């Protein structure tokens, strides 16, 4: 009745922004991402017949309000699938800053899905786990499979899941993350997705996303960084153009974000293979071959306003660490 799972957050090379079906998190466009090995969420779910209500603890603190309701809604989905009624205790820990554009909801809902499903005694395929995780947070669908992952939009719930297109050791890329702000973001991505259709640029972004994804996948499978770099940057700038031109306007960047964007472009012109991508926050993910990650990190530390630099390689799939009462998971 208890299970512990770990999952890594992922950084999207082709971004998901906006839903075709907000209730089911069916995305407006397909996306492609890389799991981040150095960052992880570990979550234990214990179903307990003596509990009167679900209890949720994240990073040592009891959670109430909207975050609590999101977890309860997800547990309800698992209870409905398993035909169970017991309430659960959820204890989750992130070993990276929460709410700073590091996609903590992706690893959180991937780990929660896997732990809750196992604790409830269910066995689901990877595709079914990914689709279920998607209902908690869209990008969580991509934190279930290993390595480099593609999430096709899918017309209905069962068809909208992510799958691995290359294992973690396929290409030694690194994400060197420049943290310029650790505070929680003022507008959550959940609210942001709802605003996407208010931007006149969203239609153009969505219409051209499949072509960018195909080009990104080609560059990735060919391990061609020169081809990958401009696609990454164009895709992230298109998403932020949509954000900035939504009503109301969402503006996640700070002055430091722009300084890093300009520096990365300058470094690349000077021969260093590195490209930027940015999620719904001000921090900048610098994607590069692993062999230059130390050089990129050193240069980032020299820029004004960089408070922390995290370096990660390519991560594996979400996995079970422990399961009771059947003993340790394989």
Closest distance of CB 203 from ligand PMV, Å: 18
Tokens of 33: 């991402």
Report the distance separating Cα 31 and Cα 151, nearest Å. Answer: 5
Tokens of 326: 């059947």
Closest CB to ligand PMV among 78 and 280? Answer: 280
Query: Which letter, b or e, does each residue of 183-213 get, where b requires 16 or more Cβ atoms within 10 Å of its Cβ?
Result: eebeeebbebbebbbebebbeebbeebeebb
Closest distance of CB 109 from ligand PMV, Å: 8
Q: Which backbone phi and psi does 12 adopt, to 5 degrees?
A: -80, 135
262-269 own/partner pairs: CB under 8 Å, 24+ apart: 263/299, 263/300, 263/303, 267/296, 267/299, 268/229
Closest CB to ligand PMV among 119 and 280? Answer: 280
Closest CB to ligand PMV among 103 and 306? Answer: 103
Query: Which residues contact ligand PMV (rule: CB under 6 A)?
Result: 12, 15-17, 31, 103, 105-106, 137-139, 189-190, 193, 279-280
- Per DSSP, the three-state class of 43 is strand
Closest CB to ligand PMV among 120 and 178? Answer: 178
Report the distance separating Cα 128 and Cα 114, nearest Å. Answer: 11
- Per DSSP, the three-state class of 249 is coil
Closest distance of CB 107 from ligand PMV, Å: 11
> In this structure, what DSSP letter does residue 158 have?
G
Closest CB to ligand PMV among 150 and 299? Answer: 150
Closest CB to ligand PMV among 163 and 190? Answer: 190
Sheet holding 308-312, edge to edge: 275-277, 284-289, 173-179, 308-312
Closest CB to ligand PMV among 41 and 105? Answer: 105
Closest distance of CB 278 from ligand PMV, Å: 8
Closest distance of CB 290 from ligand PMV, Å: 22
Closest distance of CB 187 from ligand PMV, Å: 11
Closest distance of CB 140 from ligand PMV, Å: 6
What angle separates helix 65-82 from helix 126-136, to the nearest 10 degrees? 150
């Amino acid at each position: 009745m208890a299970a512990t799972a770990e999952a890594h957050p992922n950084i999207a090379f082709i971004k998901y922004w906006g839903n075709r079906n907000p209730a089911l998190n069916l995305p407006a466009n397909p996306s492609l991402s890389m799991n981040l090995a150095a960052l992880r969420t570990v979550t234990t779910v214990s179903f307990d017949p003596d509990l009167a209500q679900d209890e949720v603890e994240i990073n040592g603190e009891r959670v109430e309000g909207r975050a609590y309701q999101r977890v309860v809604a997800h547990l309800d989905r698992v209870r409905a699938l398993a035909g169970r009624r017991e309430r659960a205790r959820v204890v989750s820990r992130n070993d990276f800053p929460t709410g700073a554009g590091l996609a903590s909801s992706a690893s959180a809902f991937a780990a929660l899905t896997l732990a809750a499903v196992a604790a409830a005694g269910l066995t689901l395929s990877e595709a079914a786990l990914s689709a279920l995780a998607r209902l908690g947070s869209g990008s969580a669908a991509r934190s279930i499979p290993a390595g480099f992952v593609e999430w096709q939009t899918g017309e209905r719930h069962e068809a909208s899941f992510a799958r691995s297109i290359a294992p973690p050791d396929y290409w030694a890329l690194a994400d060197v993350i420049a943290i310029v702000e650790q505070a929680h973001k003022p507008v959550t991505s959940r609210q942001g997705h709802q605003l996407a259709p208010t931007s006149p640029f969203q239609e153009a972004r969505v219409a051209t996303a499949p072509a960018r994804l195909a080009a990104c996948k080609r560059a990735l499978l060919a391990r061609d960084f020169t081809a990958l770099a401009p696609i990454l940057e164009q895709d992230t700038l298109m998403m932020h153009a949509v954000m900035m031109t939504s009503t109301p306007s969402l503006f996640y960047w700070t002055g430091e974000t722009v300084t890093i964007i300009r520096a990365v472009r300058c470094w690349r012109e000077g021969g260093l293979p590195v490209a930027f991508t940015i999620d719904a926050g001000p921090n900048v993910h610098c994607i590069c071959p692993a062999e230059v990650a130390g050089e990129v990190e050193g240069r980032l530390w020299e820029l004004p306003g960089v408070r922390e630099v995290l370096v990660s390689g390519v991560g594996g799939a979400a996995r079970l660490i422990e399961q009771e009462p059947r003993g340790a998971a394989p």
